[in-house]
Structure 1
Amino acid sequence: MALSGMRGLSVFISDIRNCQNKEQERLRVDKELGNVRTRFKNEKGLTHYEKKKYVWKMLYIYMLGYDVDFGHMEAVSLISAPKYPEKQVGYIVTSCLLNENHDFLRLAINAVRNDIIGRNETFQCLALTLVGNIGGREFAESLAPDVQKLLISSSCRPLVRKKAALCLLRLFRKNPDVVNADSWSDWMAQILDERDLGVLTSSMSLLVALVSNNHEAYWSSLPKCVRILERLARNQDVPQEYTYYGIPSPWLQVKTMRALQYFPTIEDPNTRRSLFEVLQRILMGTDVVKNVNKNNASHAVLFEALSLVMHLDAEKEMMSQCVALLGKFIAVREPNIRYLGLENMTRMLMMTDVQDIIKRHQAQIVTSLKDPDISIRRRALDLLYGMCDVSNAKDIVEELLQYLSSADFAMREELSLKIAILAEKFAPDLSWYVDVILQLIDKAGEFVSDDIWFRVVQFVTNNEDLQPYAALKAKEYLDKPAIHETMVRVSAYILGEYSHILARRPGCSPKEIFSCIHEKLPTVSTSTIPILLSTYAKILMHTQPDPDLQNQIWAIFRKYESCIDVEIQQRAVEYLELSKKGAVLRDVLAEMPKFPERQSALIKKAVETEADTADQSAIKLRAQQQTSNALVVTNQHLTNGSPPVNQLGLVKIPTMSNVDHSSADEGVTQANGTLTVVDPQPSSTPSPDLLGDLLSPLAIEGPPAGGNQVDTNLVSDAKGAPMPPEALALAPVEEQTNTVQPIGNIAERFHALCLKDSGVLYEDPYIQIGIKAEWRAHHGRLVLFWGNKNTAPLVSVRAIVLPPTHLKMELSLVPETIPPRAQVQCPLEVINLLPSRDLAVLDFSYMFGTHAVNVKLRLPAVLNKFLQPITVTAEEFFLQWRSLSGPPLKLQEVVRGVRPMPLLEMTNLFSSLQLMVCPGLDPNTNNLVVSTTFYSESTRAMLCLIRIETDPADRTQLRMTVASGDPTLTFELKEFIKEQLVSIPTTAPRPATPTPSQPRAASPPPAASDPGALLAGLL
């Protein structure tokens, strides 16, 4: 800045630089700010020159990091100064101190407009710079037409028109509606005929932004862009000042080719032929030279040309030429060029008919795995992963396994995952697949995720021919003196299931198998010990009576009976008792059933792992390719498609967490890394009737007095209109005209989230919405995960939560745009005010290209989320039960149309609904007594008691009694439980919730001959 004649500013800057500490500087700044404030109060005596000096001081103080809360008016007023030095200060300081929402900017609009429409080109440039720097809605609405006139004016100098183009670009990015495409497209095409390359370069930046937003309106600009490329690349009609190291305006070439990539295709054959001639010239005329600057410019043009060739899907000959050129680049010494060559070759994998050509460079790509630059190594890994198929899978996987030993620790987990995926998809035979995975675990066990060894277990389980080979290989690895813990897990599991197949082989007797596994026990962590205990039990099950081996295994079980780890202790106790029962052990520990055929979770994990990388083509290619012979073969003879279930009363069978068994299989649930297999049959020995007829089962009565129909599982929408249960989680939107269809069953997703706290709520080809929730008393915190699944952004994203009256909900702001392959999180706070079954609705919409999606989803903030199970003693139960004498605090109803289920399954259902089944309170094995605590802001903690009486002769009906201290809670809880038990017809309307003063009529009292009549009086 010019300081001539401004000695005061120069002295002030010197004083600041001479301050010894921060405190001295602050005192000097406060003193100067006080002086400036005093002078501004006497503004009538200040000249423009004096204002300029003080405004410079304000700007310098602002640049030091101090707040300047005055003087803005003086800075804005300098914009109207007649002389350039004062006007320049006004524009600079206003740009720095004010943002687009500042009120003082309104005072400057007229002055800025006067400079724009004036004849002084210097003032025009100052004004355009200010408008471009600040932007804002008011500037755009007031000044955009004048800026457009400058751009298309033939009387303005190129300097002004360049700034006008960049200013209009800034205004368009902030407010796209300032440029009307219908009226501006012809002007844009006319501007592209400009001869001045400076104006043309700035205008091309504007065109790139315009066509990225709406290419349909700018088709007339496409042939003009091709002519510009012809002028630059073929004719080289470029002034010397726009030539960079002999390359004609590389910046304009890059921008022009970038604009062409936003047009989907080129229909005119002459235009297409001209464009390909230019691209051919660029491809042929680019080579690696010693001058780094020239390399950078020429390769910027080249790689943009490659992108355009791929976009236009050129003929195979040109694509082959591109691959050959990239093959030369990945062999040069310059690391940046090698990186770009590998990256673009990976992108070309998505093109047809070039994969075989890329395979010719496989040796050089493998060499890039040893490059000193980790970025190049990553790109080489992605390229090898993408180009792998059945023909070269063995070679590539072998190279990757060799590279694994020397790979960076930061890459090993990703590398292990990709090796596992390639081995699974392109295995010529399953024994090779097992060899690869076991080698992988042996070389990089610490970096092999559980999903990988779970997957190999699935293959071995589902393919009987593979089981002897897998067991033998597992034994070979266990014989090694030192192996990773993951290898111990997978080997122990396989040998536990299939070691009996090897019994006749030398060195594979049960005792020898046990010895080699037991040698690893001291070296493993507590998470692996349960698998080893399960393996010992299985070995014991398959062994002919061998007292010595049996005593050794029993000694181990007894050792862990007092282990502090609950999982280990439970297994040891249960296996010890089961092993003493002979045949029972074989029934309980029967061979694991075959896994249902499901899509591999490894590819999904690979996509998540690579979500932050710049190029996703390799992952896309893997997802698009067909699966290989290494599919999981399922048992086609299973009843109803469900695997057989081991009969084991509440004993946990050891297996892996997160395996691909269907969790919906009857009697099987996952918990704490195990499959809990429960006996679906109730105990055959009834409990003794300690109280005689006092607790005998109640007879199932006729319908309630009111003759009410069974309630339907409906939810009111925002206007109170009922929603049919077939919609479930999906609320109707207009006529459901969305062309984008959801993936998966939305109803099942909703029901699953009602019983668990995390999962996917909605998914379609473009977006995935997940939920993770935490519930404490009457408070809930949900996090909505919005994931963009594509390489283009989702725009116009909008989300509104429509809460029912009993919920207070606050959703954080959802961004209007979700970037490609990105995930955003939006917390949702929930407070339960009253008991109710009404549900909140999430109304969300977004745009993807021409697809507009608007969907209403029910949120799983259901009644059971505000329940907390509690165990009550018999004394507490009867005391509370008797105190709640009858309606409306205690309601009873006979429920018909119940889904038939064993009592054990009903117990599990209640547990998932946060309802605690209290055993021993009712010795009748056909009855259940349930307790829970409900939390809301109005009721706080409210104890709820439920009694379920079933009819052994007819499982489709039962009598339910619900009691609590709040009438509304009693009714809502009764209806909620009934909805979970009944197969609800889809046509019956949902009844309105009765008020506490008007409860629904209860069931009639039992007949005098009913043996449960006395119980009805006490309970």
Structure 2
Amino acid sequence: MAMSSMRGLSVFISDVRNCRNKEQERLRVDKELGNIRTRFKNEKGLTPYEKKKYVWKMLYIYMLGYDVDFGHMEAVSLISAPKYPEKQVGYIVTSCLLNENHDFLRLAINAVRNDIIGRNETFQCLALTLVGNIGGREFAESLAPDVQKLLLSSSCRPLVRKKAALCLLRLFRKNSDILNVDGWSDRMSQLLDERDLGVLTSSMSLFVALVANNHEAYWSCLPKCVKVMERLARNQDIPQEYTYYGIPSPWLQVKTMRALQYFPTVEDPSIRRALFDVLQRILMGTDVVKNVNKNNASHAVLFEALALVMHLDSEKEMMSQCVALLGKFIAVREPNIRYLGLENITRMLMVTDVHEIIKRHQAQIITSLKDPDISIRRRSLDLLYGMCDVSNAKDIVEELLQYLATADFAMREELALKAAILAEKFAPDLSWYVDVILQLIDKAGDFVSDDIWFRVVQFVTNNEDLQPYAALKAREYLDKTAIHETMVKVSAYLLGEYSHLLARRPGCSPKEIFSIIHEKLPTVSTPTIPILLTTYAKILMHSQPPDPELQNQVWAVYSKYESCIDAEIQQRAVEYLALSRQGEALIDILAEMPKFPERQSSLIKKAEDTEADTAELSAIKLRTQQQTSNALVLTDQCPVNGAPQVSQLGMVLVPSTSNVNQNAVDQRVTQSNGNLSVVDSQDQAPIGDILGDLLSPLAIEGPPGVSSQPEVNGVPSHEVDANDALALAPVGDQESTVLPIGDIAERFQALCVKDSGVLYEDPNVQIGIKAEWRGHLGRMVLFLGNKNTAPLDSVQALVLAPSHLKSDISLVPEVIPPRAQVQCPLEVVNLHPSRDVAVLDFSYKFGTYLVNNKLRLPAVLNKFLQPIQVSAEEFFSQWRSLPGPPLKLQEVVRGVIPMSLGEMANLFNSLRLMVCPGLDPNACNLVASTTFYSESTRAVLCLIRIETDPADRTQLRMTVASGDPTLTFELKEFIKENLVSIPTAGKPPAPVAQQPQPNHQPIASSDPGALLAGLL
């Protein structure tokens, strides 16, 4: 800034620094801004020096965080100054104060272009820097051709060409559709022959961006990239200033190898051989040294070379060298190097066949599992998991089990899951698998999800030889004084089904089995008690004719729970008590569970999905996987077979030709990002997260649950509520063929006060919603699920948005595969207050049926409200400042559904209207406040007062006030609508029985999680 020549600027900066507090600083800044504004009004009297000084002061004030809303014209005008000091100030201040959409930038385009095409190299560099920093569309349209000419000009100095390349890169990244890069292959080939490393490095950055966009157009440049690598590897013609700790231009090496990864392969044998020679030189010449800076540079080149080796999938000898080198890295002291070594071995394991070579380093990897750094421990766990096979599974799983006792809580869930997956995939015998899972539950029960013990139950059920051993191990664990509740569940299940196989062993008589299980009853939670009650019934069944003493003990337990407040426990107790009095008929009713149908393990499928997600993908692979749609498709095949049987958990297995509305107490297990949540069909929402399981492609194959009423309790599908016409409009005469399941109007009303749930369901499709709302912005994810074993064709989803909403929905694939799910993001912007509702126009074709539904979306007024607690002073000051219509409206509302003041407060809170107790002295009145957000109004405080009549709860007087007249009216009407018709939040949709459709595997649930959870 040349402070010594600008005394006024230096004095001003000193004054600001000497201010004792923020208020003094603000006064000094305001004084200076007033002085600058006055001087700019008399611009004719300003010398170039003074204008430059004042503009510098403006920039300094702006850097302090103050708004500078004037003087922009003066800053822009300095760009046209003939001398460098003024021009420099103009460029710097303009690039800092103005963004790419500022109107004043248009005034500078001609001056900037004159500097670019001029002869002064300094001015050219200033102009290129400004264009690159601004990077706007208008600059790109007007100046990109001139920047391209500078880059390709042989008469320009390298300094200018280097800046031109970086400027062009910036313009291409921001406006790739504007820059004309057609036919640039020859030009880039020419630029890659550049001898100046500065220009070559900048050009390579541009080349990486171009080839990432379209590698097909640049095949002719591939040999040139290899020549650049050869030049650098042999240190030919590399100036000293581009050598970093003895490494020739590591930045250029990294960029060149990254560019090569965008090409799928190298076909030419001579080019391929030359490239491998270079890679070999890098691999052999890199080692760990004491100098940290040299390590960083050499390792940056090395790891990029490793990525290129994996991308090219070269010969096994080079892969062996890579593994050997990385094996050295995981043994050094430096944690960063160990981390990179482990991470790259894991990546190499994913994409190449080097398992046997990596196994040589197993001991060192296991040692890293105990490293103080949790990041290294995680990478070690990933690597051990990836390198495990039949030959080393026992050793690795035993190490994981030992480590489980001391592992961080943050890692235990992942550790337990991976140990269970490895035990299942590579178990040498099933008894060892059972031992591993029971040890997992014993050591880390809190971190073992239910799908793990479900899988054990399936193995034991399907393998008769394993049943006595599993029952005996379960009996041994029950002898411990303190065991986890999950162990109680699995032990109770196994002993209930197979304890009769241990009858001849000491301590395993029916009475002893019942006694030791019943000891655990007081220690378990409510959801586990039904499992134990079923176990008691199974023990009685297996001991026919029963021991009178045992029978009386069991009956006493059932009698105790006959009046339990929990409906599930009460129902089981009543029914099992009645069933247990049927004598030998109990054997037929409570027969052993049949074998589970053969299907892919959910745990192994999870392993495969994880491997697919974490495998190192090269640039070309990533690009080929990109879809034009943002929708995420998740598939899962779930064959369903079997006749009705009562399982250990007691749920009736329904034949695949019927669709059962499960009992209100039927609980299902669904998957949510590796964790399990319980779904209560009475509430139709998971206790944890109703749509979390939709984010996971797994089907949880658990032991069946129980329902005491196997009958279909649904109503005919043609009796759909007439209110559904408000939310659903079938096309033509198709309404008699595919009808919705449940009350669509109630589903919509529930979603108006909740952020996740089911919007619509029919025999073929289920549509769920998960939403987030922040201010005037909203994001909804639509989960479109195909419930059939045949694909849905001609799928379309369009949003018909009212004028007050701006929406952007991602494209939906035209075909949803069988038993698959599509996640479709929808962005919403609230422009101004309105009660109008957006509509989802959803259609699909299934067989000969074309179904078209128009569904209301819950992007309603209260989603853009943010509850706020205001004090009495704030409330009354705002209330008095809004004297009357149209900002304050009052109305007597009649026909209100009678409710107490507490119920009304709950209703208001569910609508995001914060009830403020104590503000109104009248105990019969209610006061609420909230903040409304929209793009036009921004944040507006809204105040509501409700005056009730204790003698007549069907009428009240409502007053609504806000700073926006439209908002006041819309909010008043919105509240009135909800008082006259209360939203049915949390109320389950009416059960509807459906006739089976062709190729339809029914799902006995309306909750979104059941769609992918699969039938048991």
| TM-score (norm: length of structure 1) | 0.68
Counterpart code for 2:569 = I
Structure 2 match to 1:410: 410
- Residue 214 of structure 1, CA deviation: 0.5
- Residue 418 of structure 1, CA deviation: 0.6
* Corresponding position: 1:146 with 2:146: yes
- Residue 589 of structure 1, CA deviation: 3.0
* Corresponding position: 1:487 with 2:487: yes
Q: Secondary structure at the match of 1:195?
A: coil
- Residue 773 of structure 1, CA deviation: 7.9
Q: Secondary structure at the match of 1:176?
A: coil
Q: In the alignment, is the contact (CA less than 8 A) between 1:496 and 1:539 conserved in 2?
A: yes
Measure the CA separation in 2 of the matches of 1:515 and 1:162. 84
Measure the CA separation in 1 of the matches of 2:166 and 2:600. 50
Measure the CA separation in 1 of the matches of 2:779 and 2:139. 41
Q: 1:983 to 1:727 in 2, by over 3 A?
A: closer
Measure the CA separation in 1 of the matches of 2:503 and 2:309. 62
Q: In the alignment, is the contact (CA less than 8 A) between 2:286 and 2:298 conserved in 1?
A: yes
Give identity over the alignment, percent: 75
Q: Secondary structure at the match of 1:101?
A: coil
Q: In the alignment, is the contact (CA less than 8 A) between 2:166 and 2:202 conserved in 1?
A: yes
- Residue 680 of structure 1, CA deviation: 5.6
Measure the CA separation in 2 of the matches of 1:370 and 1:865. 50
Map 1:523-922 → 2, pairs under 5 A: 523-543=523-543, 544-583=545-584, 585-603=586-604, 642-646=641-645, 655=649, 667=660, 669=662, 671-673=666-668, 675-677=705-707, 754-755=760-761, 771-772=769-770, 783-784=781-782, 801-803=797-799, 812-813=807-808, 825-826=825-826, 840-841=841-842, 861=855
Q: 1:594 to 1:667 in 2, by over 3 A?
A: farther
Q: In the alignment, is the contact (CA less than 8 A) between 2:779 and 2:826 conserved in 1?
A: no
Q: 1:370 to 1:840 in 2, by over 3 A?
A: same
Counterpart code for 1:266 = V
Q: Secondary structure at the match of 2:526?
A: coil
1:449-494 per-position Cα deviation (integer Å, ceiling 9, x unaligned): 1121122112222222222111111111111112111111111111
- Residue 661 of structure 1, CA deviation: 9.4
1:570-609 per-position Cα deviation (integer Å, ceiling 9, x unaligned): 3333323332333554444332343333333335656888
Q: In the alignment, is the contact (CA less than 8 A) between 1:782 and 1:829 conserved in 2?
A: no
Measure the CA separation in 1 of the matches of 2:161 and 2:305. 28
Q: In the alignment, is the contact (CA less than 8 A) between 1:760 and 1:771 conserved in 2?
A: no
- Residue 148 of structure 1, CA deviation: 0.9
Counterpart code for 2:562 = E
- Residue 390 of structure 1, CA deviation: 1.7
1:153-210 per-position Cα deviation (integer Å, ceiling 9, x unaligned): 1111111111111111110101113443432111111011111111111111111111
Counterpart code for 1:432 = W
Q: 1:86 to 1:317 in 2, by over 3 A?
A: same
Counterpart code for 2:705 = L
Q: 1:575 to 1:322 in 2, by over 3 A?
A: same
Counterpart code for 1:197 = L
- Residue 721 of structure 1, CA deviation: 12
Q: 1:580 to 1:817 in 2, by over 3 A?
A: closer
Structure 2 match to 1:117: 117
- Residue 668 of structure 1, CA deviation: 7.6
Structure 1 match to 2:907: none
Q: 1:424 to 1:270 in 2, by over 3 A?
A: same
Q: Secondary structure at the match of 1:483?
A: coil
Structure 2 match to 1:459: 459
Measure the CA separation in 2 of the matches of 1:800 and 1:984. 22
Measure the CA separation in 1 of the matches of 2:560 and 2:289. 73
Q: 1:433 to 1:841 in 2, by over 3 A?
A: same
- Residue 334 of structure 1, CA deviation: 1.7
Measure the CA separation in 1 of the matches of 2:98 and 2:42. 23
Measure the CA separation in 2 of the matches of 1:478 and 1:142. 80
Q: 1:525 to 1:98 in 2, by over 3 A?
A: same
Measure the CA separation in 2 of the matches of 1:240 and 1:351. 38
Q: In the alignment, is the contact (CA less than 8 A) between 2:781 and 2:824 conserved in 1?
A: no
Q: Secondary structure at the match of 2:595?
A: coil
Counterpart code for 1:177 = D
Counterpart code for 2:667 = N
Measure the CA separation in 1 of the matches of 2:290 and 2:43. 63
Counterpart code for 2:91 = Y
Q: In the alignment, is the contact (CA less than 8 A) between 1:596 and 1:662 conserved in 2?
A: no
Q: 1:359 to 1:985 in 2, by over 3 A?
A: closer
Structure 2 match to 1:874: none
Q: In the alignment, is the contact (CA less than 8 A) between 1:754 and 1:862 conserved in 2?
A: no
1:943-973 per-position Cα deviation (integer Å, ceiling 9, x unaligned): 9xxxxxxxxxxxxxxxxxxxxxxxxxxxxx9
Aligned-pair Cα RMSD in Å? 4.7
Aligned length: 771
Structure 1 match to 2:744: none
Measure the CA separation in 2 of the matches of 1:187 and 1:825. 41
- Residue 858 of structure 1, CA deviation: 6.5
Measure the CA separation in 2 of the matches of 1:499 and 1:306. 56
Measure the CA separation in 2 of the matches of 1:407 and 1:803. 49
Measure the CA separation in 2 of the matches of 1:772 and 1:938. 23
Q: 1:216 to 1:644 in 2, by over 3 A?
A: same
Map 1:57-76 → 2, pairs under 5 A: 57-76=57-76
Q: In the alignment, is the contact (CA less than 8 A) between 1:393 and 1:426 conserved in 2?
A: yes
Measure the CA separation in 2 of the matches of 1:985 and 1:231. 63
Bigger Cα Rg? 1
Q: In the alignment, is the contact (CA less than 8 A) between 1:369 and 1:381 conserved in 2?
A: yes
Counterpart code for 1:471 = A
Structure 2 match to 1:363: 363
* Corresponding position: 1:501 with 2:497: no
Q: Secondary structure at the match of 2:155?
A: coil
Measure the CA separation in 2 of the matches of 1:372 and 1:490. 35
Q: 1:11 to 1:662 in 2, by over 3 A?
A: farther
Q: Secondary structure at the match of 1:598?
A: coil
Measure the CA separation in 2 of the matches of 1:514 and 1:124. 90
Structure 1 match to 2:914: none
Q: 1:591 to 1:85 in 2, by over 3 A?
A: same
Q: In the alignment, is the contact (CA less than 8 A) between 1:474 and 1:491 conserved in 2?
A: yes
Map 1:81-92 → 2, pairs under 5 A: 81-92=81-92
Measure the CA separation in 2 of the matches of 1:758 and 1:268. 52
Counterpart code for 2:156 = C
Q: In the alignment, is the contact (CA less than 8 A) between 1:492 and 1:535 conserved in 2?
A: yes
Gaps of 5+ in 1: 621-639, 648-652, 684-713, 730-750, 762-769, 775-779, 788-798, 844-855, 867-935, 944-972, 987-1019
